[in-house]
């Protein structure tokens, strides 16, 4: 049976009312927030560089030219060359593609698995809830970076195992957050009304609970994206990520450390800037997304 439309307004204001005013208010908020605009432009630029940069700059990121080793940035090599003459700019572009691809994959798979587990645990309750949460607690018992390192070492170092380890550490955060949100929504009057009108549990979960947790899931996904890029760089930095000579940002920073004090700063600085920009942009977007998408946030009643 259908739930009366009026009950939907119990969730932090009537989320279905005056949609044009709400969208207009959110767009105005975005336009008035310089930090959000800069973060969005930065992340967009990195995505464009990852997608189309190798086409515009076709230098081989693995190509070795010993005669051109350790050259400073120039028109021929905008970010210089490394110790064996590889073009740092070409490697930077390939590193952007790797980092953004792994970060996106971690976000999507982690959200699907963790979000599903959290929604099912919160909506079902009982022994299912207890079992799911104990599994999540067991994963959270390990520091995230240590667990990712353990997975990478246990399954063999490489991008795939590094991504798998990072993904495993993100699942509990999705699950616990979505579970708590589902428990909060279950206690609202319009859900109780649906039960009273005879709606089935599956219908309530799919029709009335899941749509209300999507915004929370998106906010968490934006935060996880920055975390995934940073953790991948950390694993590459300690030698547990991409294998040499794969141009991953963390591995490039490690390669550049030994030359930093001798004046060849560009080898490690440029990939470090890439990590900094990507993570900062993702975190700013996640922070602002909470204000825009959270039904209890500042724009819930626009």
Mean pLDDT of the chain: 84
Q: How far is CA 179 from CA 110, 122, 132, 216, 223, in A?
A: 15, 5, 10, 11, 18
Least confident of 29-33, 58-62, 186-190: 29-33
Q: Which fold has domain 35-56+84-293?
A: MetI-like fold (1.10.3720)
**Are the beta carbons of 99 and 278 closer than 8 angstroms?**
yes
How many angstroms separate the CA atoms of 252 and 92, rounded? 9
Please compute Rg for the chain using Cα positions: 23
The pLDDT value recorded for residue 20 is 57
Highest-confidence segment of 5-14, 204-213, 281-290: 281-290
Q: How far is CA 253 from CA 70, 159, 234, 239, 273, in A?
A: 15, 16, 10, 11, 10
Banded model confidence at residue 7, pLDDT cuts 50, 70, 90: very low
Query: Is the predicted pLDDT of residue 8 greater than 70, yes or no?
Result: no
How many angstroms separate the CA atoms of 81 and 252, rounded? 12
What's the mean pLDDT in 110-134? Answer: 90
Mapping DSSP to helix (H, G, I), strand (E, B) and coil, where does residue 8 land? helix
Banded model confidence at residue 290, pLDDT cuts 50, 70, 90: confident
**Are the beta carbons of 132 and 172 closer than 8 angstroms?**
no
Give, for 106, the enclosing helix (H) or strand (E).
Answer: helix 88-124
Q: Where are the domains of the chain?
A: 35-56+84-293
């Amino acid at each position: 049976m259908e739930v009366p439309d009026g009950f939907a307004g119990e969730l932090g204001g009537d989320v279905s009312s005056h949609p044009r005013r709400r969208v207009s208010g959110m767009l105005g908020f975005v336009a008035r927030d310089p930090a959000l605009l800069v973060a969005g432009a930065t992340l967009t630029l990195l995505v464009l560089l990852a997608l189309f940069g190798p086409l515009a700059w076709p230098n081989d990121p693995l190509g070795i030219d010993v005669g051109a080793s350790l050259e400073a940035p120039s028109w021929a090599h905008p970010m210089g060359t490394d110790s064996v003459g590889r073009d740092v700019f070409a490697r930077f572009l390939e590193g952007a593609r790797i980092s953004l691809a792994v970060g996106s994959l971690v976000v999507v798979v982690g959200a699907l698995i963790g979000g599903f587990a959290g929604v099912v645990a919160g909506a079902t309750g009982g022994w299912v809830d207890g079992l799911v949460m104990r599994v999540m607690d067991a994963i959270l018992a390990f520091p995230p970076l240590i667990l990712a390192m353990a997975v990478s070492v246990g399954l063999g170092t490489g991008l795939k195992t590094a991504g798998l380890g990072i993904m495993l550490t993100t699942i509990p955060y999705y699950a616990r957050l979505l579970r708590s949100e589902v428990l909060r929504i279950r206690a609202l009057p319009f859900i109780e009304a649906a039960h009273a009108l005879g709606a089935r549990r599956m219908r309530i979960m799919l029709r009335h609970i899941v749509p209300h947790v999507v915004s929370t899931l998106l906010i968490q996904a934006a935060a996880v994206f920055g975390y995934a890029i940073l953790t991948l760089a950390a694993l590459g930095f300690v030698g547990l990520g991409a294998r040499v000579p794969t141009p991953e940002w963390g591995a490039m920073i490690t390669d550049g450390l030994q030359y930093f004090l001798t004046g060849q700063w560009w080898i490690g600085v440029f990939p470090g800037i890439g990590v900094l920009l990507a993570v900062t942009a993702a975190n700013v977007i996640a922070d602002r997304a909470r204000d825009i998408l959270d039904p209890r946030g500042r724009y819930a009643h626009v």
